[in-house]
């Protein structure tokens, strides 16, 4: 029995040892099959037009936007405009019904009219300052002298002079007194013959003229007061300041508004612009007049052209990032609407026939730049096919670079047109399962080990 147990135990131990050994061998085998293989995408050094752009986003606004405010306190009436509707310059937008303002106009008109009547009465008094002969005859006596007060003469003599009629002086009449005043001039003397209506005396008009002048000044003030009241009343009728679209509408008919209340905003949609926030790292490249390409989220099938209109000289900092406002106008904003989101590319530099390679093809070492040039370019096509499986990947060539955008970089020296550059792509693959398919893929793509045309690194198009 003990012998049987020992045999069973030995078998179990052996199974465990074999199992661990097999697992170790399996792990070692599979780990050797995982190798790091290097692949390259091939690109031809090509001459093309290289555009350097600064990109930013923003919302579309009108070039000319005018806010409409209430100038009075009152009730909105007569509004026909609606949000988003087109309006024409000079059309009635709405009225602000203000009975108080109308009452002020009426009161100013009454006050002005009363001042006119008072002025006319004063001017009529000027006629009283000239004393005329009431009848034709001979002046028998003159009682008033220059400088005399009319009131004192009247009290003493009952008249300013006496005129007799007829050869026998049978009829005599007194020259009547004016209401008041001072005698400025005596125009006749005793014994002088006069005709009815001849001027006998002139009274001092200084005081009356001063009163008239003051009343005329009062009328000017009353006229201005009326004009101000009428202008204020006119403000209650609001007309459309420009032709465009109502982009903001804050009131409705029957609503009571206060003075300086924002009623609406009208935007001229014949000209549109986009306001961009450009990063401080890019802003010095942007200049007024540079061309721009505008793409709108809501109009996907069309690209718009424009130009830089203005650049803010003051930046805005948010979360330690400073941006500058740049305004780009849209040349032909057909179907473009206020508020649409825009993606804008501003062309800051351009070079024609620049020799370019993909940006990823450049490597840097010790401050110098290199590209890996395929050695296939130095052999004929037939020898390439014949010896493709034995080719080395390529060689590093020092280059100098110029302009660069997101995808392409200019080569100013070190490389010739049509030379093939290699961009390294590193990946991990299992040699057991993929070695055959990898070999087939390489042979189908030109025979260069690890140089398949992969990863979207095709030759750039002009």
DSSP string, 302-343: EEEEEEEEEEEEEEEEETTEEEEEEEEEES--TT--TT-EEE
Reported in sequence order, the residue ranges of 215-261 that DSSP labels E, i.e. its strands, are 237-239, 244-249, 256-257
pTM, to two decimals: 0.50
Task: Please give the structure tokens belonging to residue 156.
Answer: 């003493």
pLDDT beyond 70 at 304: yes
Structural tokens at position 393:
């990947």
Say if CB 396 and CB 445 are below 8 A apart: no
Q: What is the pLDDT of residues 33-73, one digit of tens each?
A: 434 456 788 999 999 999 899 999 999 998 888 999 988 88
* Same-fold call for 37-48+354-444 versus 131-205: no
Count how many residues are written for the chain: 462
DSSP labels, 441-453: HHHHTTS-TT--S
pLDDT of 16 reads: 56
- Residue of higher predicted confidence among 160 and 83: 83
- Of 13 and 96, the structure prediction assigns the larger pLDDT to 96
Cα pseudo-dihedral 96, 99, 105, 111, rounded to 10: -170
The domain segmentation of the chain, as residue ranges, is: 37-48+354-444, 71-98+236-260, 104-123+210-231, 131-205
Percent over 90 (pLDDT), the chain: 42
Distance CA(73)–CA(437), nearest Å, equals 84
Give pLDDT, residue 345: 95
Per-residue pLDDT at 266 exceeds 80: yes
Q: Is the pLDDT of residue 376 over 90?
A: no
pLDDT at residue number 29: 45
CATH top-level class of 71-98+236-260? mainly beta
- Span 331-355, average pLDDT: 92
Residue 178 per-residue DSSP state = P
Task: Please report which confidence band the pLDDT of residue 161 belongs to, taking 50, 70 and 90 as the band edges.
Answer: confident
- Tokens in use for 239? 């007309």
Pick the CATH number of 131-205 from 3.40.50.1820, 2.60.120.40, 2.20.25.190, 2.40.50.100: 2.40.50.100
Instruction: Please give the pLDDT value at position 310.
Output: 96
> Is-contact 78 254, C-beta < 8 A?
no
Instruction: pLDDT band for 380, please (50, 70, 90 cuts).
Output: very low
Residues 6+ apart with CB under 8 A from 152: none
Given a contact cutoff of 8 angstroms between Cβ atoms, the answer to whether 351 and 359 are in contact is no
**Do 75 and 99 touch, CB atoms closer than 8 A?**
no
Reference 299, options 338, 271, 335; nearest CA is 335
Q: Which fold has domain 37-48+354-444?
A: 2.40.420
* 179-190 average pLDDT score: 82
Q: Is the pLDDT of residue 394 over 90?
A: no
The mean-pLDDT minimum among 81-95, 190-204, 283-297, 382-396 falls in 382-396
Average pLDDT over the chain, rounded to an integer: 80
């Amino acid at each position: 029995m003990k012998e049987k147990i020992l045999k069973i135990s030995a078998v179990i131990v052996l199974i465990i040892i074999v199992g661990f050994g097999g697992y170790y061998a399996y792990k070692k085998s599979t780990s050797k099959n995982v190798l790091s293989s290097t692949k390259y995408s091939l690109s031809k050094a090509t001459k093309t037009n290289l555009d350097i752009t600064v990109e930013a986003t923003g919302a579309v606004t009108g070039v000319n936007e005018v806010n409409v405010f209430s100038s009075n306190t009152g009730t909105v009436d007569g509004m026909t405009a609606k949000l988003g509707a087109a309006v024409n310059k000079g059309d009635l937008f709405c009225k602000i019904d203000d009975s108080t303002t109308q009452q002020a106009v009426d009161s100013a008109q009454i006050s002005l009219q009363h001042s006119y009547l008072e002025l006319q009465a004063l001017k009529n008094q000027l006629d009283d300052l000239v004393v005329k002969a009431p009848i034709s005859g001979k002046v028998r006596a003159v009682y008033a002298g220059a400088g005399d007060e009319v009131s004192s003469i009247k009290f003493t003599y009952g008249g300013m002079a006496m005129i007799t009629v007829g050869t026998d002086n049978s009829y005599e009449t007194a020259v009547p007194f004016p209401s008041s005043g001072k005698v400025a001039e005596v125009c006749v003397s005793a014994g002088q013959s006069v005709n009815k209506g001849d001027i006998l005396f002139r009274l001092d008009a200084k005081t009356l003229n001063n009163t008239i002048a003051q009343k005329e000044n009062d009328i000017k003030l009353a006229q201005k007061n009326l004009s101000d009241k009428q202008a204020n009343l006119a403000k209650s009728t609001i007309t459309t300041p420009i032709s465009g679209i109502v982009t903001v509408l804050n009131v409705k008919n029957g609503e009571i508004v206060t003075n300086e209340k924002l009623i609406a905003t009208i935007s001229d949609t014949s000209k549109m612009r986009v306001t961009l926030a450009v990063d401080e790292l890019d802003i010095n490249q942007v200049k007024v007049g540079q061309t721009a390409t505008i793409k709108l989220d809501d109009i996907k099938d069309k690209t718009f052209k424009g130009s830089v209109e203005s650049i803010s000289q003051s930046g805005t900092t948010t979360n330690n990032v400073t941006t500058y406002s740049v305004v780009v106008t849209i040349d032909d904003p057909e179907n473009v609407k206020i508020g649409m989101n825009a993606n804008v590319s501003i062309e800051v530099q351009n070079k024609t026939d620049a020799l370019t390679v993909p940006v990823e093809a450049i490597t840097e070492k010790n401050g110098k730049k290199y590209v890996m040039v395929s050695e296939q370019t130095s052999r004929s096509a037939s020898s390439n096919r014949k010896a493709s499986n034995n080719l080395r990947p390529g060689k590093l060539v020092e280059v100098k670079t110029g302009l660069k955008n997101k995808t392409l970089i200019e080569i100013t020296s070190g490389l010739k047109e049509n030379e093939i550059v290699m961009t390294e792509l590193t990946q991990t693959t299992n040699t057991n399962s993929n070695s055959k398919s990898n070999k087939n893929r390489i042979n189908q793509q030109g025979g260069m080990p690890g140089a398949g045309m992969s990863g979207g690194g095709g030759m750039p198009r002009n």
